[in-house]
Each structure stands twice: as structure tokens, then as C-alpha cells.
Amino acid sequence: MTTPEPTPSIAELEAQECRLVLPRFTHDDAWTLGSLLVEMARERQAPVAIDIHRAGQQLFHAALPGSAPDNDAWIARKRRVVERYNSASYLVGARHRAKGTTFEASSRLDPDTYAAHGGSFPITVEGAGVIGAVTVSGLPQLEDHELVVEALERFLNLP
């Protein structure tokens, strides 16, 4: 039995957002990042759906074997959290948990519309701020989050 990785701290999650800032984000970049995520998920046999939105437009979507229509609903709910808070969906949930509450209890937002669960990460462009979100759904929430972070690190050629 393996020991689960420790949950990242709020400071670590915030540092990820500061580090994973793109110089630009084009339609071609969405294809490249989305394709990278598909490749990574296939290598891991991860039953996920992957989505990239920019400025309200879906630029990439893929549903891998084992994913389900519910994953698309989770993607939309997690992406709305990023769009509303300009932060990763996992970080938003972690901030609420750190206050001894839940996102659902304290945000007063419809849980059928918003989900502060891991897997949606802001697409932040230098000089423009948050312009979209890249989202994965199908794994436990921390694994969804980590898959997106790892893909962005590879996309940016970060160690």
C-alpha cells in the first residue's frame, strides 16, 4: 500500500498559479496543451474528459475511454469557479476548508452550477490576467488538479 501524497498548502497552490503564467494563449496553444493532456491521460489510462475554454469559447474538448457525460457536467461546474474567482477550483475549495467550512456552505452559490473541486486551473496570460481555464474531470479531485498542473509545467517547459 502506498502512502498518499500530502495535500498541498494554500501557499503551494497560490505559488502554482504565480508560476504557471503564459506569455500568450492562442487557438494553436489550446490544441497543443489539450493534446498534451490527452497523451498524458492515455499513458496513465486515466478515464478523464479534458476541456479548454478561453473568453467563453470552447477551444478544446476530449473524452477518453471510461469518462462519462457526468464528467462534462463537472467540467462546467469547476470551470465556472475559475471564471468567478480567477483561481484554481481546488484552491478555492481549499481556502474554504481552511476557514473550517465548505465552499457549498459559505459561497451561497448553486452547487448544481459551481463546484470548488480540483481539476480546473486558470489560463493566465502575462499582461492580460486570467483569460480562460483548462479543466480535467474523472479522477479524484487532487489528481485532476495535479494532472493539469503537470501539463502546464510541461507546456511551459518548466522543471
Q: Which of 70, 78, 53, 62 is nearest to 132 (CA)?
A: 53
Q: Max CA-CA distance within the chain?
A: 46
- Give the Cα separation of 124 and 68 in Å (integer): 28
pLDDT at 159: 78
DSSP conformation class of 65: T
Rounded to two decimals, what is the model's pTM? Answer: 0.94
Provide the pairing of β-strand 120-125 with 21-22.
parallel
Per the CATH hierarchy, to which homologous superfamily does domain 10-155 belong?
Answer: Haem-degrading domain (3.30.450.150)
Whether 65 has a pLDDT exceeding 90, the answer reads yes
Whether 3 has a pLDDT exceeding 60, the answer reads no
pLDDT tens column, 67-100: 999 999 999 999 999 999 999 999 999 999 999 9
Residue 24, judged by CB atoms within 10 A of its CB (0-12, 13-18, 19+), counts as exposed
Q: How confident is the model at residue 151 (pLDDT cuts 50, 70, 90)?
A: very high
Average pLDDT of the residues of the chain: 96
pLDDT at 136: 98
- Give the Cα separation of 143 and 66 in Å (integer): 16
Question: Average pLDDT for residues 26-52, to the nearest whole number?
Answer: 98
C-alpha cell at 38: 490527452
CA distances from 19 to 15, 61, 155 (A): 6, 25, 12
pLDDT at 148: 98
